[in-house]
């Protein structure tokens, strides 16, 4: 969860889901990083970035290993005066992709 502490209370900003998998031929990881972006608002914007990386591990398996790849999926949350609002649904789409892998 991404949480804001305001007025001595916790407020949920968003739930960010990630998924790691390790198979015979490769490992896929998703790592989350945060960065604040000053905008002159009472609360700084928050940029959440998930790095989705696939790395073949050199094992010989029945399934062919995918090519090594890495991509960053980012969403910036901006303060609108009353709450944080996300700038896109990119992380929701990633959660959907993760769910479809099962």
What is the rounded CA–CA span in Å between residue 35 and residue 72?
Answer: 14
Both tokens of 31, joined, read 């790592």
Question: Which contiguous run of DSSP H or E holds residue 61?
Answer: none
The answer, yes or no, to whether residue 60 has pLDDT greater than 80, is: no
With a threshold of 0.85, does the pTM exceed it? yes
The answer, yes or no, to whether residue 62 has pLDDT greater than 90, is: no
The answer, yes or no, to whether residue 63 has pLDDT greater than 80, is: no
> pLDDT by residue (tens digit) across 11-26?
999 999 999 998 888 8
């Amino acid at each position: 969860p991404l949480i804001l502490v305001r007025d001595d209370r916790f407020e949920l900003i968003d739930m960010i889901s990630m998924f790691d998998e390790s198979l015979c031929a490769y490992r896929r990881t998703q790592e989350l990083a945060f960065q604040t972006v000053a905008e002159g608002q009472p609360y700084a914007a928050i940029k959440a970035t998930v790095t989705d990386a696939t790395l073949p591990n050199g094992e010989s398996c029945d399934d062919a290993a995918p090519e090594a790849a890495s991509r960053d999926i980012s969403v910036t949350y901006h303060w609108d005066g009353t709450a944080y609002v996300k700038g896109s649904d990119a992380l929701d789409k990633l959660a959907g992709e993760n769910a479809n892998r099962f």
